[in-house]
A and B are shown apart, each in its own frame.
Chain A
Amino acid sequence: MDAITPNLFAAGSLDGEDGPRLIGARNLRDGTLRFPCPPGMAADEWIAEDLPRTGTLWSFTVQRFRPKTPPYAGPEAFEPFAVGYVELAGTVIVESRIVGVPFGDLHIGMPMKLVTEQVLDASRTGRISFAFTGESTV
């Protein structure tokens, strides 16, 4: 199964023993770190950099209504899902779906860990995207 977009996961990390890993892009001129990687980064002054697998929840909400399609590609039958920002220490604060945590247990500062999840699109072929989950729940 393919990643939902190139340059999202570190090469080989979807199959590796240590688990998935996101990559960001470091600008060689000013040192800034960006996520996701800018398109066409190879042609510019960016190099890929692995991001930490764990972090802490910076903020969150629960998406209680089905986002409009397009652009949302999730199933018609809607289940509310959590979304948050996860601070990956010293690097960047990444926006992500949050899975495997009861909504009432979500709180700022809770430890989080990167996982993958399958995204179903209209053709029902799954593609791999990322999510975060509570670190102790996996």
Chain B
Amino acid sequence: MSKVYIIGAGIHPFGRTPERTGLQQGAFAVREALRDAGLAWRNIPCAFGGSDSAGNADTMVNELGLTGLQFVNVANGCATGGSALFGAYSAIKSGEFDLAMAVGFDKHPRGAFNPLPRDWSLPDWYGEVGMMVTTQFFAMKIQRYMANFGISPMTLAKVAEKAFANGARTGHAWRREPVTAEAILASDMVNDPLTKFMFCSPAEGGVALILANEKQARALGAARIELKAVAVRSRPPGSFEVFSPAIDVERGGSPTVNASRAAFEMAGIGPDDIDVAQLQDTEAGAEIMHMAENGFCDDGDQERWIAEGRTRLDGVLPVNTDGGCLACGEPIGASGLRQVYENVRQLRGTAGRRQIDGTVQTAYSHVYGAPGVSGVTILAK
């Protein structure tokens, strides 16, 4: 089994780009990643890519060139990017390819997503009565979590405040203006207890990563950032996930806990060894709960952690250093790969004004989405 290195990373800025389709934003990211790696498109023999609602990834060869490469389209909901990365990672780890690319992009209309029940193995009535709404799930999950573990609304607001502060320092972020915790709390209530500024919005963007085995990475002088683990997990029994008409009385595990444990086991390290983390922040409460689900703290510790600023850029475990989904928006197909892109920048020490303090040896990413799927990666140098 070969070691896997990330030797190139490219991004198309997130937000709104009316003049480019989602596919074009994906192709833009590919060109950026190729430039970063010092490679040409014809050098890439294998690619995994996808979007949720912006077209077939493999048709970007029309723009990039008909090289005849093996190109696998990935459609795995909110874990599309993470799954594309798993494909590329496996292709190299197995020895099948020396080089592989993962690309994800998307372009969503304004406003909340409007998924149709039948596309999610759910009955039509579930949507007709007004329950096929992702934001409701996040609100109900954090509502119960706050009651059980003593998390205050101010802690939610401080998480969002940090996201916008980091976004203001990030070139690829969409929301680039700091917002105070007070303004976040005072913004319109969307799904109680979550206000408008505590939620991310569907957006646009693209990310591409180029992976190589050890031999190729060394030949290119780029064997620096190793992809130590990629794990994608779906729902275990007793989990509580988005689009659940009912859940088990007997509470069980979560796809995030399972993906996290699997990734730490693959990497041979634990949460205490991580220097920087990108955690799914569909809304501010998700980041708080995911801190515990990924093993970085115990349930309820977040109230103190956030008050002490531990997850800020100058904290002991900076979280969502580029502003996360809250500041970057969520183009589904690209979102998980953006987290890895950001970790590459932090590990290289090229994150500019958002570069975290101290040495960065390890970096963690976690993407989560409907219908209850989590993808975790661990990078190390």
Contacts and interface: CB of A to CB of B under 8 A. Distances in A.
Interface stretch (B37-45, B54-62, B139-147): B139-147
Contacts of A67: 112, 114, 127, 130, 132-133
A47 B89 CA distance: 44
A29 interface: no
Interface residues of A, number: 42
Given A61-B136, A71-B117, A95 B123 contact: no
B249 A93 contact: yes
B189 interface: yes
B144 A58 contact: yes
A84 B249 CA distance: 15
Nearest to B124: A71
B244 to A, nearest CB: 6
A71 B191 contact: no
Contact of B245 (A35, A59, A68, A72): A35
Given A62-B191, A83-B140, A92 B130 contact: no
B249 to A, nearest CB: 6
B186 interface: no
A64 B190 contact: yes
Contacts of B131: 83, 95, 97
B130 A81 contact: yes
A93 B191 contact: no
Nearest to A58: B144
Interface string B194-230: 1000000000000000000000000000000000000
A13 to B, nearest CB: 17
B130 A85 contact: no
A36 B246 contact: yes
A34 interface: yes
A93 B114 CA distance: 24
A98 to B, nearest CB: 11
Contacts of A8: 125
A30 to B, nearest CB: 10
A121 B246 contact: no
Nearest to A131: B129
Identify which of A8, A85, A103 gathers the most chain B CB atoms within 10 Å of its CB.
Answer: A85
B140 to A, nearest CB: 4
A62 B194 CA distance: 10
B249 A92 contact: yes
B147 A63 contact: no
Contacts of A59: 140-141, 143-144
Contacts of A73: 127-129
Contacts of A119: 125, 128-129
A71 B190 contact: no
A97 B136 CA distance: 11
A37 B132 CA distance: 18
Contacts of A95: 131, 244-247
A60 B114 contact: no
B358 interface: no
Interface of B: 111-112, 114-117, 123-133, 136, 139-141, 143-144, 147, 188-194, 244-249
